[in-house]
Amino acid sequence: MKIHEYQAKEILREYGVPVPRGGVASTKEKARKIAEELGGTVIVKAQIHAGGRGKGGGVKLAANADEAEEHAGNILGMNLVTHQTGAEGKEVQKVLIEEGIDIAQELYFGIVLDRVTGQLVLMASKEGGVEIEKVAAENPDAIMKEHIEPSVGIQPFQLRKLAFGLGLKGDAFKEATRFFSKLLKAYEANDSSLVEINPLVITADDKVIALDAKMNFDDNALYKHKNIMDMRDLTEEDPYEVEASKFDLNYIKLDGNIGCMVNGAGLAMATMDIIKLSGGEPANFLDVGGAANVATVENGFKILMSDKTIKAVLINIFGGIVRCDVVAKGVVEAAKNVKIDVPLIVRLEGTNAKEGREILENSSIDINVASNFSEGAQKAVELAKS
């Protein structure tokens, strides 16, 4: 799960990680008030989940409260387009107003799971304020890494290594090691999946501050953290995906016009792939899961039918624990409530496949039966074109 920058900074503040003073506003009047309280130069930052906000015009410097109000007025409600939002952009509903910081140096600091070792890894780089993916690709040696042995935890020498490696001295050095250690506590205590401070700033008077903050969380661990779950911003998510998640369906909207409904994540991805290989484009990823029942299938089908870009639907089920007759019943139930106005191609294999096909054939729904995986995809692509 993702959260906004202002929310991440609230969490960091709780753990004693230094962040700029500031407040969040959803009106320009409130923005002005915060700027007045902060005094002096402030930064107005659009709060959307995507990165690259500065380049898109979502981050502005304001010399005083008047300017802060003006910038907030312009940014709030704007459709912000960045390299991460896609061409459609994202409407800005909140801005973060923060004190101006006297920056001496911009660095990078991040914490993430290293899947190869199964350990958390701290990453630091002098190349702050730029896209870290780019640094990793072009100059991997510029990123220092320290792995954490889970049984003993992070050791002080590792923190020192990173701080020295960043070229820090004196007070900034001491503050940085404390900063790293507190940040790691915030990561571990909240079951994060990623923390990125980019840039991590050293001020002219040797303070270490998280100028920006990004925190993602492990969906599997959200049950432990109600406070984090409450930070979920549904307006940042695709409405179809939100609807699907209510029914425990894994759904992701894509750009094509062939809808698909599949059991299992791997088979769902493979179904998308084979649609593409057959000359079509998948409209979505939809995994009805290993415990699909009539209701989940019905709800999944409704979501597909509400997407008007879809020109054909391919249902690909390999019954194991999920029985094909149950899936077929779900489709029949859905058809009673939603009009099916696109061709439906069904491939059922595995447990009770024959019974499932019979249920569909005896229903009033017009279906195209496919005997295998690639035939199903080819039919779907043909029918979507006609």
Partner 1 sequence: MSILADKNTKLLVQGITGSEGSFHTKQMVEYGTTIVAGVTPGKGSESFEDIPVYNTVEDAVVNTGANASVIFVPPPFAADAIMESANAGVELVICITEGIPTLDMVKVNEYLKGGTTRLIGPNCPGLITPGEAKIGIMPGFIATPGRVGVISRSGTLTYEAVDQLTKQGLGQSTCIGIGGDPIIGSSFKDLLRLFEADEDTDAVVMIGEIGGSAEEEAADYVKSEMTKPVIGFIAGQTAPPGKRMGHAGAIIAGGKGTAAEKMKALSDAGIHVTENPSGLGELTKEVLG
Please name which of 364, 369, 278 lies closest in space to residue 317, comparing C-alpha atoms: 369
Stretch that binds partner 1, among 69-77, 132-140, 304-312, 337-345 (CB under 8 A): 132-140
Cβ neighbors of 154 (< 8 A, separation 6 or more) are: 122, 146, 148, 180, 181, 184
Are residues 314 and 381 in contact, defined by beta-carbon separation less than 8 angstroms? no
Residue 121 C-beta: closest distance to partner 1, Å: 11
Among 22, 259, 264, 343, the residue binding partner 1 under the rule CB under 8 A is 264
Would you say 47 and 92 are in contact if contact means Cβ atoms under 8 Å apart?
Answer: yes
Q: Which is nearer to partner 1, 151 or 364 (CB)?
A: 151
Assess 267 for contact with partner 1 (CB under 8 A).
yes
Report residue 332: phi and psi, to 5°. -65, -40
- Nearer CB in complex with partner 1: 118/170: 118
Phi-psi region of 168 (alpha: psi -120 to 50; beta: other; left: phi over 0): beta
Query: Which amino acid, 379?
Result: K
Q: Is 268 an interacting residue with respect to partner 1 (CB under 8 A)? A: yes
* 108 noted as active-site residue: yes
- Catalytic residue (choose from 5, 69, 98, 108): 108
- Taking CB under 8 A as the binding criterion, the range among 149-157, 160-168, 203-211, 337-345 that sits at the site for partner 1 is 149-157
Contact indicator for 164, 177 with CB cutoff of 8 Å = no
Cα 124 off chain centre by: 23
What is the C-alpha separation between 275 and 373, in angstroms, rounded? 10
Q: How far is the CB of 272 from partner 1 (least distance, A)?
A: 4
Residue with tokens 């279906």: 367
Select from 27, 64, 203, 351 the one that contacts partner 1 (CB under 8 A).
Answer: 351
Residue 56 as a binder of partner 1 (CB under 8 A): the answer is: no
Nearest distance from C-beta of residue 103 to partner 1, angstroms: 25
The tally of CA atoms less than 13 A away on the side-chain side of residue 265 is: 4
Check residue 52 for interaction with partner 1 (CB under 8 A): no
Q: Establish how many alpha carbons lie within 13 A of residue 259's alpha carbon, considering only the half-sphere containing its beta carbon.
A: 25
Which candidate in 69, 98, 196, 298 is catalytic? 196
| Region 202-261 residues binding partner 1, contact defined as CB under 8 A | 218-221, 223-224, 250, 252, 254
Q: Residues 122, 127, 129, 133: is their CA dihedral positive or negative?
A: negative
Given a contact cutoff of 8 angstroms between Cβ atoms, the answer to whether 262 and 287 are in contact is yes
Total residues binding partner 1 (CB under 8 A): 56
Task: Return the structure tokens found at 365.
Answer: 């729904």
Backbone angles phi, psi at 86, to 5 degrees: 80, 175
Per CB under 8 A, contacts with partner 1 among 283-342 are 285, 287, 290, 318-321
Q: How far is the CB of 96 from partner 1 (least distance, A)?
A: 22
Whether 223 sits among the annotated catalytic residues: the reply is no
By the rule CB under 8 A, 149 interacts with partner 1 = yes
102/238 with CB nearer partner 1: 238
Should residue 274 be labelled a site residue for partner 1 when binding is judged by CB under 8 A? yes
Query: CA-to-CA distance for 287 and 264, rounded, in angstroms?
Result: 5
Q: Which range of residues in 133-141, 207-215, 301-309, 360-368 is near partner 1 by CB under 8 A?
A: 133-141
Stretch that binds partner 1, among 20-28, 73-81, 117-125, 178-186 (CB under 8 A): 117-125
Distance CA 260, CA 286 (A): 6
Residue 144 CB, nearest approach to partner 1 (Å): 17
> Which residues are part of the catalytic machinery?
108, 196
Residues making contact with partner 1 (CB under 8 A): 84, 113, 115-116, 118-120, 132-133, 136-137, 149-151, 188, 191, 193, 218-221, 223-224, 250, 252, 254, 262-270, 272-277, 281-282, 285, 287, 290, 318-321, 349-351, 372-374
